[in-house]
Amino acid sequence: MEIDLFINRFEGMIEDVINNDTLSQIGEEMKSSIHNRTRLGYGVSSQGSSKATLAPLSPSYILWRSKNKGSMFSLARTSMSHLTLTGQMLSSIVYEIGHNNIILKFNNEFAQNKAQWAHDGANNRPPRPFFFLSDLDIKRVKLLLEEAFDRYLLENFNR
């Protein structure tokens, strides 16, 4: 039947477009976006929401950081909440490519626990969620997929 041929061809096209190169590009972009956004002091409270300033640091923690500048990451600021005391957690973000998907994660348990600790907060510390894709990140993923489909169509149907 003609519709079955179309469906098979369409499914094959999707497999060709959403390949490891496309997924790697998306993974790199999302990893970089989370890293840079957080380092600049912004988090995302839920998948697809807008970025927002991370909860401020307590005065006592700002004082501690100002006295311990030597042990801090070179880009860390003493009074800014940006989850970058040593830089280790954000530098541990990696992505894994699956079948037509990407998993963002941390490459070690210590960083994963630190991220969970930042996300959850505690009775003396506000939550600082950051490990979600923002509304702009999701738009960027859609754009990257549209560009991949456009390239595929130009390469395969512009003859």
How many domains does the chain divide into?
A: 1
Examine residue 5 and state whether it is found in any structural domain, yes or no: no
Examine residue 127 and state whether it is found in any structural domain, yes or no: yes
Position 132 scores a pLDDT of: 96
Examine residue 56 and state whether it is found in any structural domain, yes or no: yes
Position 158 scores a pLDDT of: 67
* C-alpha triplet 84, 90, 96: angle, nearest 5°: 175
Number of Cβ within a 10 Å radius of residue 135: 13
Domain with 38, as residue range(s), is 20-152
Residue-wise pLDDT for 98-143, tens only, equals 888 999 999 999 999 999 999 999 888 999 999 999 999 999 999 9
Examine residue 13 and state whether it is found in any structural domain, yes or no: no
**pTM score:** 0.85
Examine residue 6 and state whether it is found in any structural domain, yes or no: no
Examine residue 40 and state whether it is found in any structural domain, yes or no: yes
Residue-wise pLDDT for 64-90, tens only, equals 888 887 777 777 788 888 888 888 999
